[in-house]
Every structure is written in C-alpha cells, then in structure tokens.
C-alpha cells in the first residue's frame, strides 16, 4: 500500500487572525483611570507663621489601624456620622471671625449652629484635623475625606440658596459652562464664608 503523506497545516493565516484580534482588543478596550483626591497643597514657607489656635477651634479625627474612627479623643463614630459632626463644628458660630487688616473680627451672622462656647468660634477659624494610622486602609481614608468635603459643600449650598437662589453646585456648573466675573465673585464669596481648612498630621506609626 502506498504510504500517506501527513498534510501540513498552513499557520500563516492563523498568525494574521491573531494579530487582527490583538489590534481589535487594543482599540476597543477601555482602561480604568484611578482618580485621586483633589487637594491644593499649601506653599512651602521659610518661616511658618506664629498663630495661636484655640483648642476648641480644632476638630480632631483619628483613624486607627483597625479603621475605627475616634473624634475628639473619646467618641467612636461611623463614617456616615462624620458629615454631620463636621457641619455642627464648622457652622457653630460661637465667637468672632478672624481679624482682617487690623480690624476686629465679626460674629457669624449666617451660621445656623448652636453657638456652643466650647466649639468653634467661626467657620474661618474652624480646623478639621484628620490623622490616620499607617495601617489605615486607603478606602477608609478616602471615605472620611469625602464626608468632610460633603459637609463643606452642604454648608455652601445652603448659603448659596439663601444669598443667590441657586446652589453652590449649580453655580460651579454655570461657571464651568459660561465663565463670568459675577459668578466667580459669588463662588469666591461662598468659599470665603466657609473656607475648607483641613490639617493632616503625620500618620501614626
């Protein structure tokens, strides 16, 4: 009997198909881009200014390696509680604003807080100190940052509706779509009324 010859498979077309598939997946696949926290770091100063800060004007938030949140050193809270705690502290309005150009400070006439003498004097003096542990998870840290950000935004929204009939969020959107000096002045005024002052000490080792 005649011996059959083994037929060879032409692999040339397979390589072409694999190359086309590779190009197809590269073109159609979307890449997830991690987004960070929008924060403007303070400029480096040769000699830090000597400022006396009252203890009551600082809200201490500490997160340990077990992701437990401790407020003012004696109160364990959940992430969802941070927003309201921050609002109550920032908007307390228990004293005077920071002096400007040598002029004495003024009381916060737009604050709606309890005016507790043991809490912050004025939004311009209210400092939120967020200290984490080196073992704190990134997700927990970001969640707390988001709640603090939400507290400032809510206060600015409330004041914007009272002063301008539009929320702070809408004003930002309007400024992005149609920039104008009047809108910028309104946004700057809201930021000045409720300045975002966050201190982040070195993580606990």
The band of 45, judged by pLDDT with boundaries at 50, 70 and 90, is: very low
CA distances (Å), origin 10, targets 6, 13, 17, 150:
13, 7, 13, 63
Q: What is the pTM of this model?
A: 0.75
Q: What is the pLDDT of residues 134-166, one digit of tens each?
A: 999 999 999 999 999 999 999 999 999 999 999
Q: What are the pLDDT digits (tens) for 124-142?
A: 999 999 999 999 999 999 9
Q: In sequence order, what are the residues at sequence separation of 6 or more whose Cβ sits closer than 8 angstroms to the Cβ of residue 83?
A: 147, 148, 150, 151, 154
């Amino acid at each position: 009997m005649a011996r059959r010859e083994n037929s060879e498979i032409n692999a040339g077309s397979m390589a072409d198909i694999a190359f086309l598939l590779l190009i197809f997946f590269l073109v159609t696949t979307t890449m997830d881009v991690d987004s960070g926290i929008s924060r403007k770091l303070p400029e480096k100063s040769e000699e830090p200014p000597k400022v006396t800060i009252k203890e009551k004007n600082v809200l201490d938030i500490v997160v340990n390696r077990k992701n437990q949140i401790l407020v003012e050193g004696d109160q364990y809270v959940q992430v969802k509680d941070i927003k309201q705690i921050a609002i109550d502290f920032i908007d307390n309005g228990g004293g005077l604003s920071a002096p400007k150009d040598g002029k004495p400070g003024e009381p916060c006439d737009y604050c709606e807080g309890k005016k507790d003498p043991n809490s912050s004097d004025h939004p311009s003096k209210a400092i939120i100190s967020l200290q984490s542990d080196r073992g704190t998870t990134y997700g927990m840290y970001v969640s707390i940052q988001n709640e603090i950000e939400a507290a400032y935004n809510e206060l600015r929204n409330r004041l914007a509706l009272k002063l301008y009939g539009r929320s702070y969020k809408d004003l930002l959107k309007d400024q992005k779509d149609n920039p104008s000096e009047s809108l910028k002045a309104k946004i700057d005024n809201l930021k000045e009324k409720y300045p975002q002052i966050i201190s982040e000490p070195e993580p606990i080792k």
